Amino acid sequence: MSKPALGRGLGALLNGGTKPSPGTAMPPSSAAPSPFSSGKVGGVLRVPWSKVRPSPWQPRKDFPPEALQELADSIREQGIVQPLIVRPVDDYYELIAGERRWRAAQIAGLAEVPIIERVASNREVLELALIENLQRENLNPLEEALGYAQLQQLFELTQEQVAQKVGRARTAIANALRLLKLPESVQSALRDGRISVGHAKVILGLNSTTAQQTVTEQVIHGGLSVRQTEELVARLQAPAPVAPPQPTTLDLGIPTRDPHVVDLEGKLRERFLTKVALRYSKGRGAIEVRFHSDAELEQLLEKLGISAD
């Protein structure tokens, strides 16, 4: 059985929708109006907002209160210009599009909201919710990435196909999906706006989860720009200077670096967020910790519990 076409957008529903899938409830007809409707004009029903519920397929999870309040103020003055698109489910209506308007209508104190009923299967609702949001709404970067991932996984699409459906470049899809590889704490900082997408892309260049989390904290607490973050990550990734060979006797074997010393050097580098060189031989050696500004020196001293005063 062929897959239904993706990317139709709400135009398909507004122009009459599609044939119902087996088992899908038919919407109320003009001869048998919906039991919820308190009035119907030109195909638009007016129903209590409490009879409308959000869709579980909605990719948008965050609704900033300030933006909702602005929309509510507009609705209070002008009303809801564009009806909500819904489908009948049991004894209520499920939103296909228009959750922001539905939420703002409640804030504005409206008793009823205008709706247009359409027939749509679960699959079609998911397609429309994802594509319409990705094309029209101001999703935060992680909501956008999750939307692309859902389209890709649930409908077995390539990145190129996802890009075609939402009208974006394939590289934009690939870069967005990479954000989902960040640890949860870094994703949270991105979701809340404490770091930008530019910061996140730079942090993705670090292979260690611990390093990614540590650099994120440094960016937030230090107010680092993307350029400063790039410089910090470059220093962390720079190879450690090779210590000059020490005089040895023939029975000391091949003069290679001890892997335990190399591992410890990496941990010191992650801890101090700068280049660290560790030289060690038979219980003796030296640690060289580099800094490139007075501010970095103060940060190093702070980590060591030493006051610069």
Q: What is the rounded distance in angstroms from the CA atom of residue 306 to the CA atom of residue 45?
A: 70
Classify residue 88 by its DSSP letter.
Answer: E
Tell me which DSSP letter residue 38 carries. Answer: S
Partners of residue 93 on adjacent β-strands = 52, 88
Residues 6+ apart with CB under 8 A from 20: 26, 119, 121
Q: At what angle do helices 259-272 and 209-222 cross, to 10 degrees?
A: 20
As annotated, the active-site residues are 99
Q: How far apart are CA 78 and CA 171, in angstroms?
A: 40
Q: Half-sphere exposure of residue 218, counting CA atoms within 13 Å on the CB side?
A: 29
Exposed / middle / buried, residue 125 (Cβ in 10 Å: 0-12, 13-18, 19+) = buried
CA atoms within 13 A on the CB side of 32: 4
Q: Are 117 and 28 in contact (CB under 8 A)?
A: yes
